[in-house]
Amino acid sequence: MCAEACPVSLLPQQLLWYSQAEDHERLEAHNLFDCIECGACSYVCPSNIPLVQHYRSSKSDIKKAQEEKVKSTQARERFEFRKQRIELAEKEREAKRAARREAAKQAQASTGTDAMADIVAAAQARAAAKTTSPEQELAKLQRAVSSAEMRVEKAQVKLDSALENAEPTEKINILSAALSGAQQKLEKAKVRLAEHSN
């Protein structure tokens, strides 16, 4: 009589049976998800079986199982893709290594001295590219000399004012050391400029 009561023509008896057996495939084949949970079957059931409760619990079980299936599929796909990616990277690296080994072998095969000469020539070329022109070098040295002169003057002024104000001996010592250091640097800059001019 439940089957006659059902407004969407389901078979409540079978659904209950498979619901208790947790047979999800059979439940879906019996269109469990078309159940609108109206409760007509339960209303007429002489045995007072809470049919709709069983169906609802089965529905949520099935949904949960489906979600878990989707999740596990995604996880598997991710894992497989990662494995593939790592394999690919490893292969590329292996290919590079092989290419380098091949190049080295070929270099070995052609005469060894030539290879060395090539390397030296290349290093020389790189060094030549780095060196600046003589005019730039001269200007740079002149700038160094003038800035050193400026620093000597500043140090002289500081030392003079300290002597006038009768500052403590430690400070005067430090200032005079700074002045002599600046004077030495000026000397060196002048020497370098002179060397360059020659």
Partner 1 sequence: MAFRQVSSPHAHGAQNTARLMQLVVWATIPGLIALTWHFGWGSFINVMLASITAVISEALILKMRRRPVGFYLGDYSAVVTAVLLGLALPPLCPWWVVVIGTVFSVVIAKQLFGGLGYNPFNPAMVGYVVVLISFPIEMTTWVTPLALLPDGITHPDFLESLKLVFFSTSPMDGVTGATPLDSFKHAAGLTVDQIYQQDSLFSQAMFAGVGWEWVNLGFLVGGIVLLGSRVFTWHGPVAMLVTLALMSLIFWDSGSSQSPGSPLMHLFSGASMMGAFFILTDPVSSAVSNRGRLIYGALIGILVYIIRAWGNYPDAVAFAILLANFTAPFIDNYTLPRTYGHTDRRKATERLEDK
Among 19, 21, 22, 30, binds partner 1 (CB under 8 A): 30
Residues of span 40-59 touching partner 1 by CB under 8 A:
40, 42-48, 50, 52-53, 56
Tokens standing for residue 167 = 């500052």
* Nearest-approach distance from CB 47 to partner 1, in angstroms: 5
* Identity of the residue, 39 or 162, whose beta carbon is nearer to partner 1 in the bound complex: 39
Contacts 24+ apart (CB under 8 A), 110-114: none
Stretch that binds partner 1, among 32-40, 111-119, 160-168, 177-185 (CB under 8 A): 32-40
Establish if 132 lies at the interface with partner 1 (CB under 8 A): no
Q: Are 23 and 65 in contact (CB under 8 A)?
A: no
Non-local (6+) Cβ contacts of 26 within 8 A are: 14, 18
CB 176 within 8 A of CB 159: yes
Applying CB under 8 A, the site for partner 1 has a residue count of 32
Quote the CA–CA distance of 55 and 10 in Å, as a whole number.
Answer: 12
29 vs 75 by CB, closer to partner 1: 29
In the bound complex, what is the minimum distance in angstroms from residue 74's beta carbon to partner 1? 19
In this structure, are residues 142 and 193 in contact, taking their beta carbons and an 8 Å threshold?
yes
Nearer to partner 1, 43 or 79 (CB): 43
CB of 3 to partner 1, least distance (A): 6
Strand, helix or coil for residue 10: coil
Min CB(79)–partner 1 separation in Å: 23
Tell me how far apart the alpha carbons of residues 78 and 82 are, in angstroms, rounded to a whole number.
6
* CA nearest to 49, candidates 81, 5, 79, 91: 5
Footprint on this chain of partner 1 (rule: CB under 8 A):
1, 3-4, 7-11, 13-14, 25-26, 28-31, 34, 37-40, 42-48, 50, 52-53, 56
